[in-house]
Amino acid sequence: MNYRHSFHAGNSADVVKHSLLIALVRALQQKQGALTLIDTHAGCGLYDLGGEEAQRTGESTQGVLQAFADSNPLLNDYRAAVQAVNAADEPRFYPGSPRILAQLLRPHDFLILNEKHPEDASALRGAMRGTPAAVHERDAYEFWLALLPTRTPRGVVVVDPPYEQLDERARITATLAAAHRKWAHGVTVIWYPLKDRATHSRWKEQLRALGIPKMLGVEHWLYDADQPGIYNGAGLFFVNPPYAFTQALPPLLEALRAALAPEGHSGEITAHWLRD
């Protein structure tokens, strides 16, 4: 599955991912200590929802536009993050994870971004101009390990690949195992698309076999049953999520499910611990 950010900007997966990233960082910032935020597959940083690539899929109509039409106050932080890069009420531009993370920085926090694709890396540098973010152009998995442990006692690594390579999940699994050995207490977020339940169940078993004590899985299935050959949803794995984040998660997940359910489907979004 090829999941280049620019084709899917502002879709339902982005709404869930960015809502949960905001909630996660805010929970970590309840403590005053500095955070290092790292994005291994940062993309372009900012996307034009009226551009050719986003218009080709039109996925923002079932994502950010539905979230903006919803009135649940639990989505206010997400809507404010999108509104921050737009002059009008209806979003024309969509902030990727780098721009959202930059909005959350306190003066003593750090943001380090990586994007291997040369054109996207150039766009990323432009999108992050005026922010304190450092931008790298390296292999994402080498970069992930090289920056651990983080320069501050606490940090978050966001892993959000396009899943262009057939071995993407295997590389994530192997790198996560090595990263956990170097940085056992660190917080890691891994995003993934959902194509079918069987494939995803096999990957969960491989991750479970790593023996990482605290790994939370969030799965957002758009449809009530798998729709063959299409994008069925997305999810995230959280390694070492803070207590304040997990305790606040159930009502936020329900708000996201209700806002994003396709017409004629109730949708499903669940959170569960991966434990033996």
In the predicted model, is pLDDT for residue 145 greater than 70?
yes
Over the chain, what is the mean pLDDT?
92
Cα 68 from Cα 78, distance rounded (Å): 9
Q: Can you tell me the mean pLDDT for 1-29?
A: 86
Hey, which residues does 268 pair with through a beta bridge?
221
* Residue 71 burial (CB count, 10 A): 8
Q: For the range 62-65, what are the long-range contacts, defined as Cβ-Cβ under 8 Å and sequence gap of 24 or more?
A: 62/11, 62/12, 62/260, 62/262, 63/10, 63/11, 63/12, 63/13, 63/14, 63/15, 63/260, 64/10, 64/11, 64/14, 64/15, 64/91, 64/94, 65/10, 65/90, 65/91
Closest CA to 153 of 187, 181, 106: 187
Strand-strand pairing, 215-221 and 268-273 = antiparallel
Q: Can you tell me the mean pLDDT for 31-52?
A: 94
Asked if 206 contacts 16 with a C-beta cutoff of 8 angstroms, the reply is: no
> For 197, phi and psi rounded to 5 degrees?
-70, -35
Token pair for 237: 């794995």
- Residues labelled as active-site residues: 160
Give the sheet arrangement for strand 154-159, strand by strand: 134-136, 110-114, 35-39, 154-159, 187-194, 233-239, 215-221, 268-273
Segment among 74-78, 84-88, 106-110, 223-227 with least mean pLDDT: 223-227
Instruction: Set out the domains of the chain in order of their start, with CATH numbers.
Output: 5-273 (3.40.50.150)
Q: Can you tell me the mean pLDDT for 55-65?
A: 83
Q: Whole-prediction pTM value?
A: 0.94
Residue 52: partners with Cβ closer than 8 Å, 6 or more residues away: none
H or E segment and range at residue 57: helix 52-57
Q: What is the pLDDT of residue 266?
A: 81
Q: pLDDT digit string (tens) for 217-240?
A: 999 988 766 555 556 789 999 999
